[in-house]
Amino acid sequence: MPLQVKRLLLVFAVFIGIMLGLKYFLTPDSWREYGPYRGNALKEIVNQVPKFVQMEDCAACHDSIAEIKSQGEHNPLQCEICHGPGYRHIDDETVKMEIPKGNAVCMRCHTKNAASPSGIIKQIDAVEHSEGEDCINCHNPHQPWL
């Protein structure tokens, strides 16, 4: 066997040995306990505290917006659906909530789709309806009927 082949086989053997060593030392003990998952991840996830904010929590400080929203079609929706997670804002008022820009947030629910219930959710062909304008240029999400 030529010398370069022997050297190449030696390099491959060392590489495979390093990979097996890394796999042995870096693979958690609970790996494959529940299929191709780390079993301890379930315990970690269960111990996490949910971080959802209810509309009542938002209304405690933003009562005027809550009053307007309570009279509209978006009343049953949680504020976090459009504004993102609110727990950081509740803990620290200097953390600002997301103010949706563009049409992407509105189109999550209002995109014209034959599979969606059109009698419940107003469906819109965004390109035809808005002609490139953002939804909030014409519609206040808290009072979408105006």
Q: In the 3-class helix/strand/coil scheme, how is 83-97 assigned residue by residue?
A: HCCCHHHHHCCCCCC
Q: What angle do CA 85, 86, 88 make, to 5 degrees?
A: 105
In a shared domain, residues 29 and 74: no
Specify the pTM: 0.58
In a shared domain, residues 64 and 125: yes
In a shared domain, residues 78 and 31: no
SS3 111: strand
User: In terms of residue numbers, what domain contains 14?
Assistant: 3-46
- What is the number of structural domains in the chain? 2
In a shared domain, residues 83 and 42: no
> pLDDT by residue for the chain (146 residues), tens digit each?
899 999 999 999 999 999 999 999 999 989 888 888 888 988 888 888 878 888 888 889 899 988 888 887 888 888 888 888 888 888 888 888 888 877 888 888 888 887 877 777 888 887 788 777 888 888 877 776 65
In a shared domain, residues 87 and 107: yes
In a shared domain, residues 41 and 80: no
Q: What sign for the dihedral angle of Cα 110, 114, 116, 120?
A: positive
SS (H, E, C) 5-22: HHHHHHHHHHHHHHHHHH
In a shared domain, residues 30 and 9: yes
